[in-house]
């Protein structure tokens, strides 16, 4: 009997020790497959590098981080399924999703499970629903739409402009904000149209743009459609400048549009690759043959945010993390992050970029 009790006690102690040293599971979710998979790949590469660096320094609260990857293909229903899967995997933090139309429904699952999330989704409704678990590490569409629309009105004064969206939550929201800013600045759009994302032929809308004499197009949507529109515009003899949002950072735009990509401008946060404090991390990515463009550094920053918040809170309990994340400032590779009561950045910023020769840089002011 005593031997049995002793054996049971040792088993219990072993189980406690194993539990104490169990990994902390964190996750990313986004379009790992489908037409926007290159964005998902950027997120994955950024998160993997951050987790490797964090674990190399001892992990978080003495525990190593383990990464789970969810593929929502930018489909809202699939995003909810991914979210439920992640809840069952008992993740303690989510960086995701990418498309606003996925982030919005998925966040309802995470908040019920008390899982904090950092996202780059820019639709205002991401943080306007009063959810306590969301922290947006990029600005909003009503902010970048104002910057983009104002730039168009000032730089293309007297030109004929059109506003086009892809009917997605992100695309329509951004296009509406650009149109609002353009009108406020005295450049009323000549056309306001929508397309369906994923189609193989946009010659119909290109013909409409050409007939209306459009010279600049404000576009709310993703890079894949812009590439096709530019190619078909060139075939139709239409010289078109396109202004888009943060999704135009993807180098696949250059691959698909070729030299036409030089006609693309877009809004995005200040380039984190130019942040002197991030230089060592930028070098590590480049040494690994990864260009830290687009959302790579944001995924890295999201994992830094979690690690620093958990360290400061001395806990991964949701109530402790939420309080710490909302009440402090965090130094990351994309700059300092601090959040307001909604979960938006207190000091977001957008600037205008232009593609030239396969690279993007700040546009002329």
- The pLDDT of residue 21: 55
341 pLDDT exceeds 90? yes
Residues 274-287: tens digit of each pLDDT: 999 999 999 999 99
266 pLDDT exceeds 50? yes
Domains defined for the chain, CATH in brackets: 2-139+273-337 (3.40.50.2300), 142-268 (3.40.50.2300)
- The pLDDT of residue 17: 40
- How does residue 348 score in pLDDT terms, banded at 50, 70 and 90? confident
Residues 40-88: tens digit of each pLDDT: 999 999 999 999 999 999 999 999 999 999 999 999 999 999 999 999 9
8 pLDDT exceeds 70? no
Task: Kindly write down the DSSP assignment for every residue of 189-253, as one continuous string.
Answer: -SEEEE--TT-S--HHHHHHHHHTT--EEEEES-HHHHHHHHHHHHHTT---EEEE-GGGG-THH
**Dihedral pair phi/psi, residue 241, rounded to 5°:** -100, 135
- The pLDDT of residue 334: 96
- How does residue 10 score in pLDDT terms, banded at 50, 70 and 90? very low
13 pLDDT exceeds 70? no
Residues 181-224: tens digit of each pLDDT: 999 999 999 999 999 999 999 999 999 999 999 999 999 999 99
Closest of 160, 2, 92, 127 to residue 303, by C-alpha = 92
Q: What mean pLDDT value characterizes the chain?
A: 93
Residues 286-312: tens digit of each pLDDT: 999 999 999 999 999 999 999 999 999
**pTM, rounded to two decimals:** 0.88
Q: What is the DSSP letter of 336?
A: E
For residue 158, with 0-12 CB atoms within 10 Å meaning exposed, 13-18 middle and 19 or more buried, which class applies?
exposed
Residues 89-118: tens digit of each pLDDT: 999 999 999 999 999 999 999 999 999 999
* SS3 state at 79: helix
Q: How large is the average pLDDT for residues 338-345?
A: 96
């Amino acid at each position: 009997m005593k031997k049995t009790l002793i054996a049971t006690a040792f088993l219990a102690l072993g189980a406690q020790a194993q539990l104490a040293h169990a990994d902390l599971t964190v996750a990313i979710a986004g379009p790992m497959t489908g037409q926007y998979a290159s964005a998902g790949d950027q997120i994955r590469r950024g998160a993997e590098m951050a987790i490797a660096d964090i674990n190399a320094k001892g992990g978080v609260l003495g525990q190593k981080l383990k990464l789970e990857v969810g593929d929502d293909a930018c489909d809202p229903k699939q995003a909810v399924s991914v979210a439920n899967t992640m809840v069952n995997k008992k993740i303690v933090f989510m960086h995701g999703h990418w498309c606003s139309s996925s982030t919005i429904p998925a966040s309802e699952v995470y908040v019920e499970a008390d899982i904090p999330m950092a996202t780059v989704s820019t639709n205002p409704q991401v943080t306007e629903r009063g959810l306590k678990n969301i922290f947006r590490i990029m600005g909003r569409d009503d902010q970048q739409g104002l910057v983009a629309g104002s730039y168009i009105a000032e730089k293309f004064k007297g030109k004929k402009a059109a506003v086009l969206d892809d009917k997605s939550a992100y695309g329509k929201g951004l296009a509406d904000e650009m149109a609002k800013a353009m009108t406020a600045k005295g450049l009323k759009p000549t056309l306001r149209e929508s397309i369906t994302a994923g189609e193989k032929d946009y010659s119909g809308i290109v013909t409409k743009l050409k007939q209306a004499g459009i010279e600049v197009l404000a576009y709310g949507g993703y890079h894949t459609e812009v590439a096709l529109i530019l190619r078909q515009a060139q075939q139709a003899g239409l010289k078109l400048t396109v202004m888009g949002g943060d999704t135009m950072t993807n180098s696949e735009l250059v691959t698909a549009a070729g030299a036409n990509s030089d006609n693309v401008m877009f809004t995005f946060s200040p380039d984190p690759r130019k942040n002197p404090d991030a230089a060592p991390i930028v070098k590590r990515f480049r040494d690994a043959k990864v260009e830290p463009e687009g959302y790579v550094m944001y995924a890295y920053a999201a994992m830094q945010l979690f690690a620093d918040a958990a360290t400061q809170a001395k806990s991964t309990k949701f109530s402790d993390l939420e309080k710490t994340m909302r009440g402090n400032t965090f130094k990351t590779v994309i700059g300092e992050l601090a959040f307001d009561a909604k979960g938006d950045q207190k000091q977001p910023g957008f600037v205008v970029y232009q593609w030239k020769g396969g690279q993007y840089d700040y546009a002329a002011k």
